[in-house]
Amino acid sequence: MNTNLKPTIDNTQTGYESFKIGNFTFDRDEYFAYISCPNGEHMMSIDAFLRAMMRDVAWGFFYGTVAFDDVFGTTNHYGNVDVFIGSQHAEWTKAERDYLENFKSDELMDVFKALLSDWTNEGFDPFAAPQETGNAWGRNNGNEDKLISRQREVAKRMVGIPGDAPLRSDENGYPVNRAFADVDQSQPVIEAEPGFEGELHAYNFFAFLSRSDVTWNPSIVSVVRQSLFCPTTEEYILPIDHGNDRVEWFIQISDEIVWDIKDGKTSAPLATVTMRAGDVSAQPADIRHQGQSPKRSMLLVWENGSPEIMDMIKDGTVPIVPVTF
């Protein structure tokens, strides 16, 4: 078999660095990212690659598989992570072209962060909707390192409670997004009896979402033990296919998202789920989903972070669907 068929990379021309971990090499040029491993090469458009990489890094490899596309991705084992080419694609595995290597999470994270820092040019925010940011193309030109250390809001009980994650406002740098200018910004009226001031808590959840400055990046607004309300605002395409290792739920709050569903092991298309305001849908633990949102929309992602689930994933007893009826 011929090997090393990737186009010629000349870092002296583009100013980018190449990155290696284990037997994987990552290169970029003006338009593409190239991933090489002992079984071959794979290339992706650099804007899609950087948007996916940004999420993989920001979410600490997330729950289960973050598929950058049908071929390349990572699978989180919480402490260690698989990096793979073709392992979740029926034709690649049939041809025995698939390749997988496991890395310690922190070592892989260091390499991915260095890559993001070097490959992201000034003015391109991989978290932003395409209409709200510059482009990823061209030769090495500055960076957007502040994005790599960006922290999402993570409530311990509920956002807005004194001492917990703060609400978003004009003053703290979260203006209402252009697509949500019509969303009511009123706050609930709290009438506490004397002696109970500060004990009743409420806030405008939809207004909080209308001020999200990023897309496809959940924060946590309320917590019942390990039940996490992780709402997010979505526009254009989820930059990854998410193959969760547990059931997750979507509740569409506003507008519409069309989810492309594929088989988690083979990448075969399975279904399309169209969600409109008020729709609720489970995502089985054996599929991958990728959302498409024609207008910026509000989505409540509902996750279960229980250690109990971690044990069930290890023993292979985690439920694939949440209920049968």
Partner 1 sequence: MSAEYKTVFASIDDYRKGGVHCLNEDPKRYVFSNLYEVAATNAPYDRIVVAKNLDYTIEAARAEGTSDWMVCAHDEFVVAMDYDVEVHFVKLADDSIVDEDKDGFVTLQGNPDGQKMGRILMTRGHQALLPEKTAYRFHSNKPATLMLQSILGEETIEKWADICLK
Q: Nearest-CB residue to Fe ion?
A: 242
* Contact flag: residue 246 with Fe ion (CB under 5 A): no
Q: Which two tokens stand for residue 250?
A: 């979507």
CB of 251 to partner 1, least distance (A): 7
Q: Identify which of 205, 214, 162, 172 has the alpha carbon closest to the alpha carbon of residue 186.
A: 205
Selected from 55, 97, 242, 246, the binder of Fe ion by CB under 5 A is 242
In the list partner 1, Fe ion, none, the entry touching 225 (Cβ below 5 to 8 angstroms by class) is partner 1
In the list Fe ion, partner 1, none, the entry touching 242 (Cβ below 5 to 8 angstroms by class) is Fe ion
CB of 317 to Fe ion, least distance (A): 21
Q: Identify which of 259, 237, 235 has the alpha carbon closest to the alpha carbon of residue 249.
A: 259
Nearer to partner 1, 36 or 219 (CB): 219
The answer to whether residues 153 and 172 touch, using CB atoms and an 8 Å cutoff, is: no
In the list Fe ion, partner 1, none, the entry touching 163 (Cβ below 5 to 8 angstroms by class) is none
Beta-carbon contacts of residue 117 (< 8 Å; ≥ 6 apart): 143, 145, 148
Q: Identify which of 165, 180, 256, 251 has the alpha carbon closest to the alpha carbon of residue 211.
A: 180
**Phi then psi dihedrals of residue 160, to 5 deg:** 90, -15
Q: Output DSSP code: residue 93.
A: H
The answer to whether residues 30 and 141 touch, using CB atoms and an 8 Å cutoff, is: no
**Phi then psi dihedrals of residue 121, to 5 deg:** -85, 155
Q: Which amino acid is at 295?
A: K
CB of 256 to Fe ion, least distance (A): 17
Q: Which two tokens stand for residue 66?
A: 């973050």
Size of site (CB under 5 A) for Fe ion: 1
CB of 28 to partner 1, least distance (A): 33
**Distance from C-alpha of 207 to C-alpha of 167, rounded to nearest angstrom:** 10
CB of 113 to partner 1, least distance (A): 31
Nearer to Fe ion, 42 or 242 (CB): 242
CB of 273 to Fe ion, least distance (A): 12
Nearer to partner 1, 138 or 322 (CB): 322
Nearer to Fe ion, 17 or 256 (CB): 256
Q: Identify which of 302, 183, 324, 297 has the alpha carbon closest to the alpha carbon of residue 244.
A: 302
In the list Fe ion, partner 1, none, the entry touching 117 (Cβ below 5 to 8 angstroms by class) is none
Nearer to partner 1, 140 or 267 (CB): 267
Site for Fe ion in 174-193 (CB under 5 A): none
Residue ranges binding Fe ion (CB under 5 A): 242
